[in-house]
Each structure stands twice: as C-alpha cells, then as structure tokens.
Structure 1
Amino acid sequence: MLTAIQRFFQRTLADPASHDDELPTLELAAAALLCEVMRADYRVDPAQLEALRELLMTHLHLEAEAVESLMAMAREEVESSVDHYQFVSLIKQDYDYGRRVELVRMMWVLALADGEHHHLEEHRIRQLADLLHVGHSDFILTKLEAQSARV
C-alpha cells in the first residue's frame, strides 16, 4: 500500500497537469471525504486540521510531508467537486465493511475535534455513512465511541 501511495505522489508531483482527468486515488478519496466533514459547518478549526493530520498519518501510515500534500490535494478536490460520487464509489469498491465503518469513526473524531457537536457535521456524516452503506447502528456506535474518546 505504501508503494502505491509513493508512486501516486511521484506521478502527481512530476506532472500534475497530466493527471487532472484521472480518477482520484483511494487515499485521496478517503482524505476528501474527511475534508468534506471538516468543512460541513462552514468553519475549519485548527484543532480539526491537526486531527486530520493525525488521522491520515495513522490511517495511511504516511510521513508528515506526504500528509500535508495529501491534505492540500483533498481540500482542493472537495472545493472543486460537484458531488461525492467519485470518492464514495472508490471507497465502496476497495474498502470492506469494517474499513468503511472505521472511516465513519474517523469522520466523527474529526467532527468532534473542535470540541463542538455541530448538527451540520452530523448531517454530513450521516449522508456519507448512508452512501458508504454503513448501517445506522454502526453510525451511532462510531459516534458514541468518538464522543467517549473525547472525554
């Protein structure tokens, strides 16, 4: 997996213009969905940015520089995307159910990183969980896990 990520960054950084029409990578898709949650309340808190960095480093096993590049690309993708279809379909195709549940848990950790429980962030996570075919019971369970971890 690490080799695939390194190849992606080498290709993209070598000639970014030639890859504009390609589908996003799995890592970029996951990061983009997390960014979508982070910006759901129209405010990006520094605590959420730090939480995103930590989640991506832990989840993708990347170095700090690679995470910074991935975060920048993900935020740009989210700003320019019309919908979530390309990201969600890639995740559904490649992640098993357990990994999709883990991604929803990460969304909750990110949403709660600023110390607030905002209804717009919850709504966005609910939408994404539904699109990822994560069951409602797992949606609630991941929410409770993230809330108890914050205490």
Structure 2
Amino acid sequence: MTHQDLTTGLQIAEWLILATLSLYTWLAKRQAASAHQLLHLNTRIVALEEHVRHLPDQSAIADLLGDMKAIRAELTGVKDALSPLARALDRITIEADESIELKAPSATLRIPKVALHGNLLVNGNIDATGAVRDVEGNSNHHKH
C-alpha cells in the first residue's frame, strides 16, 4: 500500500467518523428536545386536568338549571304580587284618628290641583306667584 492509498483511506475514515458523530449529535439533541416538549405537554395536561376537576358535572349543571327555573318562577310570582301594590301607590289615602306631623328641612309638592276640605292655618308667610282669590270677600285689608 502506498502512502497515497493510506492517506485516502484515512480521509474516508475521518469522513465516516464525522458523519457518525454528526448523526449521533443530531439524534441526541432531537431526543432531548422531544423530552423537553414531552415534559411541557405533561405539565399542561396536569394543569388542564386540575381545572377540569373543579368544573361542575352534568348533575350539578342540571341542578343549577332547575334552581334557575324555580327562581324565575318565584320572581314572576313576586312581580305579580307587587303589581297591585304599584297600582295602589298611585291613589294613596292617609286616614288617622290623631294629628299627623311631617318634619323636613323643605318639601316640594308637584300637584296640578289640590282640594283642601277644612280650615288652613298657616303659621308663617304665604308667597304666591299666581292669583290669590277670596271668594267670600271677608278679607278686611284687601284693596283693589
């Protein structure tokens, strides 16, 4: 064997060793990457299983739907019961055997027409922006 043949054989062996090492490195890194991805997927699956464990099952959902229907029916009943009361608030009549006293810093009544049956005692001034009429003409200090 000549020196040339020996050099060529060593170069071929060198290429074969490099190719083998490259293939081994590629396979090892691929396996490490796959192991890392597998660990990541496993962590995600465990987290999802934990979330699913806390979700209500079919029977709990059915119970909730039944409860919601019952609450809706009760609310409809309450609405029906309050409807006459709401209409009655439009025509409130207060009757008392004793005097009634209302105290407030101020009050405003927005009533287009008020009928007062009885005497009116005003302990203070009366300010009117409209006409004040004395139908019986008994105001002795009334001037025209």
TM-score category of the 2 structures, normalised to the smaller one:
under 0.3
TM-score (norm 2): 0.24
Q: Which structure has more helix as a fraction of its residues? A: 1
Q: Which has the larger radius of gyration?
A: 2
Q: Which has the higher contact order (CA 8 A, sep 6+)?
A: 1
